A and B are shown apart, each in its own frame.
Chain A
Amino acid sequence: MAPLYALGCEGSANKLGIGVVSHDPATNKTRILSNVRHTFNSPPGTGFLPKDTAAHHRAHFVSVAREALKTAGLTSPKDLSCICYTRGPGMGAPLTSTAIGARTLALLWGLDMVGVNHCVGHIEMGRVITGADNPVVLYVSGGNTQVIAYAEQRYRIFGETLDIAVGNCIDRFARTLNIPNDPFPGYNVEQLAKKAFFEEDGVTKREPVLLDLPYAVKGMDCSFSGILGAADLLAAQMRKQDALLASGGTLKEGEERITPQDLCFTLQETVYAMLVEITERAMAHVGSKQVLVVGGVGCNERLQAMMGLMARDRGGSVYATDERFCIDNGIMIGLAGLLAWETGFRTPFEDSTCTQRFRTDDVHISWRSD
């Protein structure tokens, strides 16, 4: 049997991603033929609004899809088995815009549609790329924070955020500090955190200062809104110090001079320690030694390093991908959709809607039987 091909369309947040993926049911080999992405970035200090993001996706859908098909080098769109699109979770307007694009292609070429859960897309992509067959999954992005493990044809959520997502916490703090959104706020926070070390010629001139932030883990769940609030307060204190020093004043005796570098360093150290802790608890719970990190926050090098240290102590490894795969993309949607399509799953045209809330454990993982 020849490999099957699918086109995946992702637009649940500010990235529009379209790509072509192939999967051979006989050999279980997956190949990525194209992975095109266009990101909507708002100016520093602002977040991306649903309306503007949706407009971005509509404006770029045709060119991104064209490039994805061209790069993939398919002779005809008819070689595709299905058009896969993100059904949710995510922001309503961008989801809908992308779904309209996907429906148009499906009608144009007379292809089946497959609506895909965004989180399941991340997980399947991560498994294929890293070769982790049955890991505990930490899914961390701007919209989601979940610790997931597979059991009986479901990706079960063992722990999750009780309020905002970790990526949202970092993005919003980046806005507080007026850090650019390009390429993405978390990347810039990470670069600032690295500068907290003040290295010169490979020698650390000053250890970064770990400021006081709350630490909010409850069993396998965690919470980030209190941390964001506390970090914002520290940032406000820093600005007061800036103003005081600019007007020739001096800090109170024993008062630590707060820097953006230390703030970013502290925020990262705190929230990533929380994520590693709940992941470790889930690993102990299900007896797994593999951990897979997916989602946009998953490409943070410090998080990957911390996760690696934890996994090493448990005699296992961390599996992580780079920004081509862990940041939202079309191929993950194409892959998860294709796997479902192979088991007979179809999304009828009249049901090809979107939903902002769509839990990972709502999806029947029909293609796994372990």
Chain B
Amino acid sequence: MAAAAVETVALEHLPATHTVLLALYRNVANASFLQEQLLSRNADFEYAFVDASTVVSRFQLLSAVYKAVSAEMAGAMRTPNVHSEMVVSLSSNNNISEAYRRYGVQPATKDVVVVKVLISREGSPSSLTPEDVEKHLETHVQGDSVACSDEELAKVTDWPKLRKYHKLNGLPWIEAIKDEEAKKKELEMLIVSAMAMRGT
């Protein structure tokens, strides 16, 4: 197994107390193990395990991350923690269990995006370092680590599913766009906007 590549992402308008870590694994063999850790609330597995086929781009993914962290800072989360909040933030409706099912890791999930936020509070730094996280993921995620880039994400995006989830079928002007890239950009923006509207 390749060494886990965990990327530290600096998000605009996030305070220095918050560190966002990002990783993408292809061909994950132990998705059901990962889901079980979440279901049993194993404290060592405080991650957002996202089904990568529901991710369009880094921008869309990070929009969900930012929304979740904002909710955490404002004390306005609708789910138990910032990581579950991220999974739910990928949805554009208010059904939380459906959001876990659709966007979170499931036993059949092949490709997984992992997001972890390290939060230091009141002068005490997070007990974990990015290196700890990288080591932990390397040990427990059985899959091929690849860069969490737009190119890699695009390879696994399940567009028909996403268009159904976000009710993006039957928009004639979208179908009329000839350029596939331009069409995907429009769809991406519609998804991001719909995610922003969720919960309001």
A–B interface present (Cβ within 8 A): no
- Give A contacts to B, CB under 8 Å: none
